Structure 1
Amino acid sequence: MTAVLTIAGIVLFFLGLLFSIAWHELGHLGTAKMFGIRCTQYMVGFGPTLWSRRIGDTEYGVKGVPLGGYVRMVGMIPPAAPDVSGRPMGRIRAMIEDAREASSVEVEPGDEDRQFYQRAPWKRIIVMVAGPAMNLVLAVGLFIVLLMGIGVPQPSTTVNAVSECVVPATATDATCPEDAPPTPAAAAGFRPGDEIVAVGGERVAGWNDANRLIRESPGPTAFTVERGGEEVELEADLIENTVVARDAAGEIEYKTGPDGEPLTDDQGFRIPDTEKAAFLGITFQNERTALGPGETAAFMGETIVGVGEALVALPTKVDDVFRAAFMGEERTMDSPVGIVGASRIGGEVLAQPIPLIERASFLINLLAGVNLFLFAFNMLPILPLDGGHILGALWESVRRAFAKVFKRPDPGPFDVAKLMPVAYVVVACFLAFSVMLLIADVVNPLRVTQ
């Protein structure tokens, strides 16, 4: 059954990724057609065509290599300006003109006013922004379903488990040594399912209140718990112990280095800081709670910042991926993954013996994060990414505005073909990294469970 669920999870998440790609390209297609640009192809994937169908003047299809997709628009590269220099054509210029010629081949009779470069810069910007924006919309929709619909696990005031004995914070074995003293909670008679109502005579409004009051109450402390519908009075003699440090909001505080950067362990996890505080010896139950609009917006804002930081750090991960792919080194939890790796994680999670709602929540969160990454990645201002075309249109607007102010001739459309050598280098780097990532995901996959 585990194998079946794993395969089902891989297929399910892979289809989610393909939908995200198709959804992205639909943004380009819809806005291009809205502005009268002829689109010859709408394809999910690259390489050989597995299936296609022509509707109107657009061929819709699926290709064999699911590493992205594209909408082919007529006239992405403008015609060249007349060359009056008389200089012989160099290698780079020849590369540029080859790209221009390949683009002009698609122009047919009747396309005289249906080409991409002919549209106003603001229209071209809308067409190119529409793709990443669709990923952003999808990510927001998924986060709303997850955060405001399903809810997120948050600690409650209900006791989940009572530790039997006091052991050092560094202990890795949960078994109680014979000479280990009982925890204050065990000695006081706390039971799983007890709901803490008051600590030291002060009523608690929620988990953070209960946790704060416990930490601040060393020595004999009175507790009021609700058990079986009745309030029960307990008294525990709290001891001082080394516990995980938390801020005023109850959030875990993490260790940082001399430079202020967070410290991580061998798996890439941040290392929690510790502090001395009163210790009771219980863990609290997590209960799913739906977030409000403000909390949801704040969560998504933090996630977007995290995605941006991961994108900036991506070049530094190339060496780690190479070592994982070809040298067998263990991958850290912050290692990037490709489509194969992400789908494999989806299958691994779906096969876990945890409640279905937990598995579904993880997959929704993962897919939402992927769409946020697709949004941020495609907005990078380099060709052939959407952000490169957006930058070109913006530069064209600036040039035309200056020409108008200073009463100079219209400089014409920005010649994106001049950046094609850069685009080829970017594509080559992307393909090399994608292949390396694919190898790492197959031979040395990142695992989120043991």
Structure 2
Amino acid sequence: MEALAFVIGFALLFVGLAVSIALHELGHLWPAKAFGVRVGQYMIGFGPTLWSRRRGETEYGVKAFPIGGYISMAGMYPPSPTERAAAAAGQRGGRAGGGFFATMVQDARAANDETLVADDDRVFYKLPVWRRVVIMLGGPVMNLLFAIVLFAVLFTVIGVQTPTRTIATVSECVQPADATAAECAATDPTAPAAAAGMRPGDTIVSIDGTPVSTYDEATEIIRASPEQTLTVVVQRGGEDVTLALTPALAERPVYDDRGQPVLDAEGDPVTAEVGFIGITPQYALVQQPIWAGPQAAVENVGAVAGIIWQMPVKVWEAGSTLITGEDRDPNGPLSIVGAGVIAGEVAAAEAPVVNRVAGFVSLLASLNIALFVFNLIPLLPLDGGHVAVALWDGLKRAWARLTNRPPPEPVDATKLVPVTFVVVVALIVMGAVLILTDIVNPVSLFGR
């Protein structure tokens, strides 16, 4: 059953990816059609076509490999010089000779020219700059909106695993922060909670007369009161029980506002001497305010952007673990295979179904944030590259107006095909390295 659950989780991630891609392309399709651009194809995936149907002038379809998608808009670029010359002479454009990159430019122009129809102005390159920008940003923005919805579902509908005031376990002794032994030694002092008579299942009501409504409030008081006797009221079996508790002075990790360990410059946990009693809380799903989802999406955008701009270095570090055998950085980049492995682990985990659903929703939301940030990189063939071309075209036209010059020719982005080729090759190489690393040395949620 565990293996079956893993396979189901892995497959569900690809379904979620296909939905994310479909929404991304709809983000391009809807404004393109609204602005009157002729769209020949709307395709999810690459490779052989599995299914397609034509409605009006647009063919809608699904291809074999759900690792991307596209819409085919008429006139993404202006007609090539040979096509314009041939049109002026009433002839069909031909292809000239040239080197490798020159041939690539010609092929790109030829493919673009095939989308043009005589006397048809329903082309992308003739749109005002702001409309071209809206069309190209539509895809990434759709991924961002989808991520916000998913995070809202995760935080506000499902809830977040939050420590409660109810005690799950009571330690028998106080061990050093860096202790690795699972059992207490004879020299280890008795934990204050055990000495005070606390039991698993007790719910903390108040500490020294101060009512506590969350586990964090209780922890804050305890950590600030080492070697001070506190009066603690717990609820046990429906009755209030008063205990005398004296937190021990112990060296423990420092946590930030998000509950994550604070690290020093060397990456080691920062510790401090605080009050310690030796309890762990029970956890429960707690619904968060409606704004928690959008806030989490924004925070994730910043975190992903920090990884994206270091992508070559991060990929190199991940790939080097194939040789060194070191553990992967759990916060580093993943391929779709790595994300699928994590989805499989979440599905196969020994946890309540709602927890597994929450894990999958979180993973899919993070994937859409990654799609949003990645597609904003201002390099062709990514959406950000097309936005950069449109803005450059707008700047040239604005400068011509300011200097009373004739309007310039539209920017011919096919000249950038060599740069696009280099970007595509780099993306393929990095993707291949990540896929290989995710197969040989995958990131695991639960260790290996």
Could you tell me the TM-score, scaled by structure 2's length? Answer: 0.91
Residue 104 of structure 1: which of 110, 113, 119 is its match? 113
Verify: 1:421 aligned to 2:418, yes or no: yes
Q: Distance in 1 between matches of 2:350 and 2:258?
A: 29
- In the other structure, the counterpart of 2:162 is 154
Q: How many residues align?
A: 434
Would you say the 8 A contact 1:208–1:250 is kept in 2?
no
Q: State the secondary structure of the residue aligned to 1:33.
A: helix
- In the other structure, the counterpart of 1:116 is 124
What letter corresponds to residue 163 of structure 2 in structure 1?
A: P
- In the other structure, the counterpart of 1:228 is 237
- In the other structure, the counterpart of 1:12 is 12
Q: State the secondary structure of the residue aligned to 1:219.
A: coil
Residue 317 of structure 2: which of 320, 341, 346 is its match? 320
Please, which moves more after superposition, 427-436 or 327-336?
327-336
Would you say the 8 A contact 2:318–2:437 is kept in 1?
yes
Shift of 1:116: 1.2
Deviation string 1:133-190 (CA, Å, 9 cap, x unpaired) is: 1101100000010111111122222212111112222222221223433211111110
Would you say the 8 A contact 1:252–1:272 is kept in 2?
no
Shift of 1:354: 0.8
Q: State the secondary structure of the residue aligned to 2:309.
A: helix
Ranges in structure 2 where 5+ consecutive residues have no aligned partner: 86-95
Residue 242 of structure 1: which of 245, 251, 257 is its match? 251
Deviation string 1:350-377 (CA, Å, 9 cap, x unpaired) is: 0011111111111101100000110111
Would you say the 8 A contact 1:244–1:252 is kept in 2?
no
- In the other structure, the counterpart of 2:272 is 275
Q: Distance in 2 between matches of 1:411 and 1:109?
A: 22
Q: Distance in 1 between matches of 2:29 and 2:371?
A: 17
Shift of 1:80: 3.6
Q: Distance in 2 between matches of 1:395 and 1:280?
A: 63
Deviation string 1:80-108 (CA, Å, 9 cap, x unpaired) is: 45899xxx986444532331122102324
- In the other structure, the counterpart of 1:168 is 176
Q: State the secondary structure of the residue aligned to 2:328.
A: coil
Q: 1:305 to 1:95 in 2, by over 3 A?
A: same
Q: State the secondary structure of the residue aligned to 1:180.
A: coil
Shift of 1:314: 1.3
Q: Distance in 2 between matches of 1:95 and 1:220?
A: 78
Verify: 1:354 aligned to 2:359, yes or no: no
Shift of 1:20: 0.6
- In the other structure, the counterpart of 2:88 is none
Q: How does 1:27-426 map to 2 (within 5 A)?
A: 27-80=27-80, 91=99, 92-109=101-118, 112-217=120-225, 218-246=227-255, 251-257=259-265, 263-264=266-267, 271-324=268-321, 329-426=326-423
Q: 1:272 to 1:155 in 2, by over 3 A?
A: farther
Could you tell me the TM-score, scaled by structure 1's length? Answer: 0.90
Q: Distance in 1 between matches of 2:331 and 2:301?
A: 16
Would you say the 8 A contact 1:142–1:365 is kept in 2?
yes
Shift of 1:120: 1.4
Deviation string 1:177-230 (CA, Å, 9 cap, x unpaired) is: 234332111111101121212222322243222111111222322111122222
Q: Distance in 1 between matches of 2:442 and 2:385?
A: 32
Shift of 1:442: 2.4
Shift of 1:387: 0.6
Deviation string 1:401-437 (CA, Å, 9 cap, x unpaired) is: 2212222101132211121111111111111222222
What letter corresponds to residue 23 of structure 1 in structure 2?
A: L
Q: Structure 1 vs Structure 2: percent identity of aligned residues?
A: 42
Would you say the 8 A contact 2:232–2:244 is kept in 1?
yes
Q: Distance in 1 between matches of 2:309 and 2:137?
A: 20
Would you say the 8 A contact 2:147–2:297 is kept in 1?
no
Shift of 1:252: 4.4
- In the other structure, the counterpart of 1:268 is none
Shift of 1:329: 5.0
Q: 1:440 to 1:126 in 2, by over 3 A?
A: same
What CA RMSD, in Å, does the superposition of the two structures yield over aligned residues? 2.2
Would you say the 8 A contact 2:14–2:66 is kept in 1?
no
